[in-house]
């Protein structure tokens, strides 16, 4: 298949064509030519779109798809198609399925099920058996089968010694350990950020300390053991500072932040809308400002949608009893484009996550594999249910003003365009 992208502004800091508007000719999945004007010939699939931008393909490091076990929330097939239409050429899938992704067979099931799609799927294996935090899972076997990291999704490792052993053991095969930053004893039964808003609304609070004390513990353990640690979805200013200090010490540490924790604050809670209930919770304006600055200066390495479809019967209930989680594919770029520059978005959604998780990075240059996200930076719009492609509709971004829309993606010799493109 031959595809010609006309007048595409290239966003790739690793490319000699960065910030230049060029035609891109792709033949059988490989970028054949990049030039000012490439003539269209018979048989070309030509893409000519308003304000077309292309970036190296985006990689989302925290995605939940439901299958196996929760197919009513999202199947692998449909989820990967939504990801592709939303600009993502790769996703790392969390082990919060039924059964839990805790062994070689479960890893191979996911990889085989995702074969042939435009968006690549990379499994994250559970760190502990059944994600119960008691016994370590079969990490080496899972890595041999294709797992790219190990963590218990949204479940902190309370046992200090277990995390210490995991960090030591994983060094034998260069494994990446993930540790969710939450101290359950301090968080208690909290459902929202502990602060002025939770007090006014009568909601049980989760203090920032519940996250920060866990981050501090994890960093102490990492300093003792060595190894590679990734802390997903931090949400507080103090966490940013703790990770900054650890990096200055030379520890092999990375972290991510969810888009909604960059974009929204706990002021959103005043409608008791359970779609705004997420884990970690929305924090304060001061936290959001610190997180955005942390992304800009590279202390926060990775941005994720933390895409987590939840059935309506678990969201259309009282706030305190609703399940945590929001979908995030469709709103990702529009939200980020309102608060960050394109180079920072590319670094945090493409370059750094691929480096950290050991995924092949393909720059935008001739003779390189075409792995591209296609989007427009213009046009503000109010995000609504008509913009949602996911099976579940639990978006935290409804009624928010976003800027820029995704046209789709190109990967694995497949062009996937969004319905509105």
Q: 53 and 92 in contact (C-beta within 8 Å)?
A: no
**Helix axis angle, 285-296 relative to 237-248, nearest 10°?**
30
Compute how many other C-beta atoms are within 10 angstroms of the C-beta atom of residue 72.
Answer: 13
Q: Which of 23, 152, 287, 306 is the catalytic position?
A: 306
Buried b (16+ CB within 10 A) or exposed e, 206-223: bbbebbbbbbbbbbebbe
306 included as an active-site residue: yes
- Among all chains, which residue has been given the structure tokens 């792709």? 26
Candidates 81, 45, 82, 37; CA nearest to 370 is 45
Nearest-angstrom CA–CA distance, 67 and 111? 12
Candidates 410, 344, 367, 411; CA nearest to 16 is 367
Candidates 36, 58, 47; CA nearest to 345 is 58
Nearest-angstrom CA–CA distance, 406 and 53? 9
Q: 243 and 299 in contact (C-beta within 8 Å)?
A: yes
Structure tokens that stand for 179 in this block: 């540790």
Nearest-angstrom CA–CA distance, 161 and 420? 51
Nearest-angstrom CA–CA distance, 28 and 3? 8
- Compute the CA torsion angle 404, 341, 338, 65 (nearest 10 deg): 70
Nearest-angstrom CA–CA distance, 53 and 10? 6
Give catalytic residues, as residue numbers. 306
């Amino acid at each position: 298949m031959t595809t010609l992208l006309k007048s595409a502004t290239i966003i790739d800091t690793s490319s000699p064509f960065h910030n230049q508007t060029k035609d891109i000719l792709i033949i059988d999945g490989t970028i054949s030519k990049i030039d000012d004007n490439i003539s269209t010939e018979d048989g070309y699939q030509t893409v000519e779109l308003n304000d077309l931008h292309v970036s190296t393909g985006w990689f989302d490091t925290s995605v939940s798809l439901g299958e196996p076990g929760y197919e009513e929330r999202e199947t692998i097939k449909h989820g990967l198609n939504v990801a592709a239409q939303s600009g993502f050429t790769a996703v790392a899938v969390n082990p919060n399925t039924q059964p839990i992704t805790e062994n070689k067979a479960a890893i191979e099931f996911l990889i085989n099920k995702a074969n042939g799609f435009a968006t690549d799927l990379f499994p994250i294996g559970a760190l502990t058996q059944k994600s119960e935090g008691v016994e370590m899972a079969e990490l080496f076997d899972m890595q041999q089968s294709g797992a790219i990291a190990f963590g218990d999704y949204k479940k902190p490792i309370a046992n200090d010694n277990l995390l210490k052993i995991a960090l030591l053991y994983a060094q034998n095969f260069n494994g990446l350990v993930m540790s969710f930053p939450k101290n359950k004893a301090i968080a208690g039964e909290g459902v929202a950020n502990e602060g002025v808003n939770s007090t006014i609304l009568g909601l049980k609070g989760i203090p920032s300390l519940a996250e920060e004390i866990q981050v501090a513990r994890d960093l102490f353990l990492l300093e003792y053991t060595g190894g590679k640690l990734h802390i997903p979805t931090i949400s507080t200013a103090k966490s940013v500072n703790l990770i900054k200090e650890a990096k200055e010490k030379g520890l092999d540490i990375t972290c991510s932040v969810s888009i909604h924790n960059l974009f929204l604050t706990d002021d959103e809670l005043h409608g008791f809308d359970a779609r705004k209930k997420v884990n970690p919770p929305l924090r304060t304006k001061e936290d959001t400002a610190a997180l955005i600055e942390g992304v800009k200066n590279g202390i926060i390495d990775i941005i994720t949608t933390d895409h987590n479809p939840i059935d309506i019967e678990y969201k259309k209930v009282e706030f305190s009893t609703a399940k945590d989680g929001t979908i995030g594919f469709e709103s990702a770029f529009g939200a980020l484009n309102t608060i960050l520059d394109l180079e920072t978005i590319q670094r945090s959604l493409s370059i750094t996550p691929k480096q950290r998780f050991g995924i092949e990075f393909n720059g935008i240059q001739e003779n390189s594999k075409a792995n591209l996200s296609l989007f427009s930076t213009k046009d503000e719009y109010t995000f609504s249910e008509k913009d949602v492609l996911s099976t579940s509709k639990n978006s935290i971004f409804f009624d928010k003003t976003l800027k820029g829309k995704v046209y789709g993606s190109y990967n694995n010799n497949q062009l996937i365009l969004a319905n509105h493109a």
